[in-house]
Chain A
Amino acid sequence: MNKKEAWIQETMESLEGLKIPQVSSSLDEKILKHLFQDEIKVIAIRPQLTWSIAASLLLLIGLNCISLIQYNKNQVNEKQSDAYTLYNNYFLYTEQL
């Protein structure tokens, strides 16, 4: 065995007698804290629930749209009736004169 081969052989064997390093107690604590104190929760949402949430949102948006349209219509009607009252009052006043 020449010098190079001997060096390779020794390097390949440098892991012999390797000790498994002790895991620090802080790592154990960190893992357990992460598991139980940070509360990892896997929330499974059923498809029915997803669809009912979507339907509720759609209904809410629809109701809002309808009430907005209704409110606009009422505003226009109110404006028209105000003008009509003013018009009537004016002619009543002129007739009295």
Chain B
Amino acid sequence: MEEQELIIALQSRQETAYVLLVNQLGGKVYHTCLGLLQNEEDAEDITQEVFVSVYQSIKQFKADSKLSTWIYRIAVTKSLEYLRSKNRKKRFAFVQSLFSTDNELKTDVGHFHHPGVQLENKERAAILFSAIDKLSENQKTAFVLHKLEHLSYIEIAEVMNSSVSSVESLLFRAKQNLQSLLGDYYEKNEK
């Protein structure tokens, strides 16, 4: 089925078209969400939300970009929104912990083990993911789409609604920041 036919079938709410779409892009959407959220359960929930969002707003899709690019954009937006709300909750929990009697801060800080990483790289990849988590939203998105999804600079620019040069600059700064964060980690733990 060609993309245009698929879009028409999706717009007319044909179940077979959605089965095809989920089979084609479900894994990629899940993988993008997993890279940004660094939590398998959250990534599954957001993947579901992405497809619900596609179902609800496919009629507004004007085909001015590829369907996959549009869906990646939804996945990135939903993941970042989720992260923002999670961070708000963390801040609230921190404020609450200041007033509570037990001075234990309950946040889920921990290393993320990506299920696709090779066994020998598992430990280092977890450290790298921890550093990725400290990047700004844009740097993190660009890095995840480039390194994990292997999208080209042009595709990343389309997903992020920006220019190729700004994607290049984001990736350059992301790498610099990651090297600096890893350097700090090395000084504290590996030396």
Contact present for A14 and B125 (CB under 8 Å): yes
CB contact under 8 A between A40 and B128, given known A18-B148, A21-B34, A28-B22: no
Contact present for A15 and B23 (CB under 8 Å): no
From A27, which residue of chain B is reached at the shortest CB distance? B44
Contact present for B27 and A15 (CB under 8 Å): no
Q: Which of B52-79 contact A (CB under 8 A)?
A: 52, 55-56
Question: What residues on B are CB-neighbors of A31 within 8 Å?
Answer: 22, 26, 47-48, 51
Q: Kindly state the separation between the CA atoms of A23 and B47 in the bound complex, as whole angstroms.
A: 10
**Interface status of A20 (Cβ within 8 A of chain B):** yes
Q: Kindly state the separation between the CA atoms of A18 and B23 in the bound complex, as whole angstroms.
A: 20
**Interface status of B114 (Cβ within 8 A of chain A):** yes
Count residues of chain A with CB under 8 A from any CB of chain B: 26
Question: A interface vs B, CB < 8 Å?
Answer: 4, 7-8, 10-12, 14-23, 27-28, 30-32, 34-36, 40, 42
Question: B interface vs A, CB < 8 Å?
Answer: 15, 18-19, 22-23, 26-28, 30-31, 34, 44, 47-48, 51-52, 55-56, 114-118, 121, 124-125, 127-128, 147-148, 175, 178-179, 182-183, 186-187, 190-191
Q: Kindly state the separation between the CA atoms of A34 and B22 in the bound complex, as whole angstroms.
A: 12
CB distance from B72 to the nearest CB of A (A): 14
CB contact under 8 A between A8 and B117, given known A14-B128, A40-B52: no
